[in-house]
Amino acid sequence: MRFNSLISASALLMAALAVTSGAAAGASSSHPTIDQDREVLFQVSTIDALLLAVYDGVLSVGVLKEKGDFGIGTFDKLEGEMILLDGICYQVKEDGFAYVVSDDLTTPFASVTFFDHDETVLIEEAANLTELVGILEASLPSKNVFYAIRIDGTFPYVRTRSVPAQERPYPLLVDVTANQTVFEFENASGTIVGFWTPQFAAGINVPGSHLHFITDDRKAGGHILDLRVDGVEVALDVTASILMALPAEGDFFDLDLTGDLSGYLEKVEK
């Protein structure tokens, strides 16, 4: 387990403008970077609502694509895994294949941003997902902001999953994933798409790393359960602002979201 961190000081400084530009110098007329949609992580609903079976789509892919060109999520009725990459939205269905989706399809939970490559972390080797995430976290400049993660490469091994559309009464996510379909890729060229979320946003999104995968031909992929990497460059987009849009009707409205669902979350991520 070895790594080199190639953090670009200038890129980091640019990212650090988020809420400090102007303010520090007392120049109130200059706008902070947060006014620019590109530097905002846009999120629909919360991970805990998804864990508690709020699966009805509330925002269309068309609107989502106005908020970012890069991201992950799921679709109406929990049908499959979302990968938004280079502005194209893919749905990895129960069969493991990726389909380009229409702008009319809706999502109950997704995170997107406009990906701007701020930093690079070189990972020479990681035997599994836990090791990859460990190396990555050790090289993050701060554990208190969000990062979009993009890894292009050829991966010795990737294991993914997807889930079928659900019907009412919706089962809990932990029960759906108990019957997930699992796919394995060997020496697969493709792209890993996801986010790193600070611990203080637990309940809102997945603390730590949440990664999806899609092959180079954009024909297959899914939610990453495990992987092995060998000499990859991790591209990070430092994102210090988050815009969370909550469903203001439907199942979400009456849900009891006061509990600690981290136990459920750990199960569904595996």
Interface with its own copies by CB under 8 A: which residues? Answer: 15-20, 22-24, 26-29, 31-32, 34, 40, 44-46, 48-49, 57-63, 66, 103-104, 106, 141-145, 198-201, 203-204, 238, 240-250, 252-255, 257-258
Shortest CB 61 distance to its own copies, Å: 7
**Of 204 and 220, which has the nearer Cβ to its own copies?**
204
Minimum Å distance from CB 228 to its own copies?
29
Q: What is the DSSP letter of 173?
A: H
Listed in sequence order, the residues at least 6 apart from 20 whose beta carbon sits closer than 8 Å to its beta carbon are 32
DSSP one-letter code for 142: -
* CB 41 to its own copies: min, Å: 10
Closest CB to its own copies among residues 106, 111: 106
Q: Which is nearer to its own copies, 58 or 72 (CB)?
A: 58
Encode 204-236 in three state secondary structure: CECCEEEEEEEECCCCEEEEEEEEEEEEEEEEE
Q: Which is nearer to its own copies, 41 or 268 (CB)?
A: 41
Cβ at position 204, least distance to its own copies in Å: 7
Cβ atoms of residues 166 and 80 within 8 Å? no
Report how far residue 33's alpha carbon sits from residue 97's, in angstroms, rounded to the nearest whole number. 38
Would you say 44 or 149 has its CB closer to its own copies? 44
Distance CA 217, CA 48 (A): 33
Rounded CA-CA distance 172/54 in Å is 9
**Minimum CB distance to its own copies, residue 164 (Å):** 21
Comparing CA positions, the residue from 88, 56, 41, 68 lying closest to residue 221 is 88
Nearer to its own copies, 105 or 127 (CB): 105
Q: How far is the CB of 218 from its own copies (least distance, A)?
A: 21
Ordered alpha helix ranges (H), the chain: 9-15, 47-51, 61-67, 129-138, 173-177, 251-254, 262-268
